[in-house]
Structure 1
């Protein structure tokens, strides 16, 4: 039975946003687009692991994931969740509502790539911090790909790291173009930038890499993972320069933009230095664990033994001090990369038991985009809420969806789990007792 939407208070002046949102709620559907088969088979999934009552976050949580450089979609989603209101037209023209001041906004990663504007999206996120909003920013694989590429360019090359720049692929090229146009175009940027051939040598892995990497990665990656990585790099090495030229960039442009990105993101006085400094790997609120992608056995046991604070410190220390290869193919990085494929580090019953003993019973994630709103799934015996609902305009065009996306996942102890998406006709509401029933 449908009812007027009770969870979101959106001001009437946001008529363009309201027109694209559902105005009614309904109990969380049990169709395949909203739940998977295991989640529908209540009482037969993970009940034997649950010893305590499911604990909800102490304050309301608004989870928005994978904005992918679309500031308009991100800000519209904040409005849809009722946590901000626009004060004027344009970006970064908003302030917190009463609901926004008492809620926590968790950004589930993948702020970068795709477009239309990486830098605008970052400035919108920064504006939330400027307003003293409670913001938790999680690491996404697209976000980490940029810093890995920049660090690989800055550090001495070896077999483990020399592929990380080109590994970023064509999706990072719009960022380099933005940076070039906004910071370098009207300067003497060519000074001290080497030739096209020299830039190619600096940016690309050597021919020797393809021979040596499988031996270098043996024992750390699964055999499927090694094969997938080499195959991916063959493809990206052949296409990267062509994609740069299609965007109007030479390798000299890209190299210059990369050096500017190092200043912006890695230097303490850089405009976006805050982005990686504030980033966390995971956040636990009640029985809910928020992350970008998923878990494996090692991370499950780490969370049980040491907790999320330790995991977040390990994330930053590994990124800063560990060799890039060892970091990117570790369990820490698997947390923002995994899709539970054979090539990923495994999550088995052993890891799930550790996660449950750590008091974690629901994982809230991005990374896997959904075209019909959020979905509740049971993966490897662990409940996941898939909350990447395809916000950025470029991805939506590729998927046959109109305009920019709008939506958010709301979690609070009074109303339960609420999925709002402009691509689903009603808000999906799972009351607290209904979510507990997934465990039987």
Structure 2
């Protein structure tokens, strides 16, 4: 459908013309886009489910922003584009809530960390949003939890199930360690009491027997495809991690020192970012919408149908600092922030989709799989998925041929329906079961 009218109250920025010029000024009915998964069927299913008496829209306007990946500028611009924040100065964290922002639930869909340009700036921008007393829900992303598992694994060097989790973080975590070293350790006596380079290597890397032992350890817990994928990825990461650290100007001693500092920052009671994992939740249900980072499998769907969201979030919190990292990181709980519905992932079948609907959930809103042309709506095993990772961080965009940093958000409320805003699509995509709402 052709564009029809200017979008009402959807946050065209007025403070900075360069950003305003990158946002759509018109809307169109949600398109059936080439390359999406059953988009036409998804829209028909969404319309059908939303017509049912038991379908519920969120109780208040909701903004979903996912996968900012250490790009605070993209994150703040997306808050402003969604109409929930206003710029009050030229620097990062120079923003305040708008009138609409004080009445809106803001859901951060995970993956605040990794890639770039600055993990610490992103965390500080998110902390500022909390200081403004915004209604914020922070969901767990795989990159966020991968950092936690890596830091916790430093205590468990002889555990075959977790001794690979530090190097498993891979090259995407190295910029964080570079930032932490530069901001907290450089020009200090950081080497005092530090193990030598070889000792640090032994502390950070899995031992020589890991590749022989891990498949037997993981058998019966991971799928055969999952075990094969894990060992193949780890061979590559073990072979390249040290050189990638060196390319960033970090010795293994410096990486280890930065990791220990990260433990203090994130896990210490008085650490600057001690709030980050404490505030994190696995799932957020609002009306008939389930907000999460990646997706569901049959086990989690049945858990939600029988025990509910509150139970799942409590189980997540209880296991977050567990003594058995392997059991947590490869469990159905973690599948929520890791799955891409591959053969290596725990499966979602029609049985799981039925259980999800039994739990009162008809639409999944998630990030995790980045798109280049704004949000998509897909149908997977009978469940409607709103795919809302629109590639915000400048690092990924540069690698994938997109300009600058990304801007966009997904807005959901009963009056307007679902609105997808992205600087990479010329119009805002609008879906409402009763027709386009102006």
TM bucket by the smaller chain? over 0.9
Moved more, 193-202 or 10-19: 10-19
| Paired position in structure 2 for 1:364 | 365
Q: Residue deviations 1:408-434, cap 9 Å, x none?
A: 000011000000000000000111436
DSSP 3-state at the match of 1:249: coil
Q: Are the counterparts in 2 of residues 46 and 382 from structure 1 also a CA contact under 8 Å?
A: no
Distance 1:417 1:158 in 2: 46
Distance 1:221 1:292 in 2: 21
Distance 1:279 1:43 in 2: 34
| Paired position in structure 2 for 1:9 | 11
| Paired position in structure 2 for 1:243 | 244
Q: Are the counterparts in 2 of residues 417 and 432 from structure 1 also a CA contact under 8 Å?
A: no
Report the Cα offset of residue 156 of structure 1.
5.0
DSSP 3-state at the match of 1:335: helix
Residue 28 (structure 1) aligned with residue 42 (structure 2)? no
Q: Are the structure 2 counterparts of residues 338 and 55 from structure 1 closer, same or farther at C-alpha, using a change threshold of 3 Å?
A: same
DSSP 3-state at the match of 1:289: strand
Q: Are the structure 2 counterparts of residues 434 and 281 from structure 1 closer, same or farther at C-alpha, using a change threshold of 3 Å?
A: farther
Q: Residue deviations 1:119-144, cap 9 Å, x none?
A: 00000000000000000000000000
Q: Are the counterparts in 1 of residues 32 and 39 from structure 2 also a CA contact under 8 Å?
A: no
| Paired position in structure 1 for 2:346 | 345
Equivalent residue runs for 1:429-440 within 5 Å: 429-433=430-434
Moved more, 346-355 or 37-46: 37-46
Equivalent residue runs for 1:331-342 within 5 Å: 331-342=332-343
Q: Are the counterparts in 2 of residues 409 and 419 from structure 1 also a CA contact under 8 Å?
A: yes
| Paired position in structure 2 for 1:140 | 141
Residue 382 (structure 1) aligned with residue 383 (structure 2)? yes
DSSP 3-state at the match of 2:154: helix
TM-score under structure 2 normalisation? 0.96
TM-score under structure 1 normalisation? 0.96
Q: Are the counterparts in 1 of residues 157 and 206 from structure 2 also a CA contact under 8 Å?
A: no
| Paired position in structure 2 for 1:319 | 320
DSSP 3-state at the match of 1:325: helix
Q: Give unpaired runs (5+ residues) of structure 1.
A: 436-440
| Paired position in structure 2 for 1:438 | none
Q: Give unpaired runs (5+ residues) of structure 2.
A: none
Q: Are the counterparts in 2 of residues 391 and 404 from structure 1 also a CA contact under 8 Å?
A: yes
Report the Cα offset of residue 13 of structure 1.
1.8
Distance 2:250 2:355 in 1: 49
Q: Are the structure 2 counterparts of residues 127 and 248 from structure 1 closer, same or farther at C-alpha, using a change threshold of 3 Å?
A: same
Q: Are the structure 2 counterparts of residues 80 and 43 from structure 1 closer, same or farther at C-alpha, using a change threshold of 3 Å?
A: closer
Moved more, 150-159 or 265-274: 150-159
Report the Cα offset of residue 111 of structure 1.
0.2
Instruction: State the Cα RMSD in Å.
Output: 1.7
DSSP 3-state at the match of 2:110: coil
Distance 1:312 1:169 in 2: 28
Q: Are the structure 2 counterparts of residues 51 and 4 from structure 1 closer, same or farther at C-alpha, using a change threshold of 3 Å?
A: closer
Equivalent residue runs for 1:213-252 within 5 Å: 213-252=214-253
Report the Cα offset of residue 349 of structure 1.
1.3
Distance 2:376 2:29 in 1: 13
Distance 2:51 2:237 in 1: 45
Distance 1:206 1:407 in 2: 44
| Paired position in structure 1 for 2:424 | 423
Report the Cα offset of residue 159 of structure 1.
0.5
DSSP 3-state at the match of 1:364: strand
Report the Cα offset of residue 318 of structure 1.
1.0
Residue 102 (structure 1) aligned with residue 93 (structure 2)? no
Distance 2:45 2:250 in 1: 55
Q: Are the structure 2 counterparts of residues 172 and 131 from structure 1 closer, same or farther at C-alpha, using a change threshold of 3 Å?
A: same
Report the Cα offset of residue 54 of structure 1.
2.2
Distance 1:148 1:29 in 2: 40
Report the Cα offset of residue 350 of structure 1.
1.3
Q: Are the counterparts in 2 of residues 96 and 131 from structure 1 also a CA contact under 8 Å?
A: yes
Distance 1:376 1:288 in 2: 13
Q: Are the counterparts in 1 of residues 42 and 379 from structure 2 also a CA contact under 8 Å?
A: no
| Paired position in structure 2 for 1:413 | 414
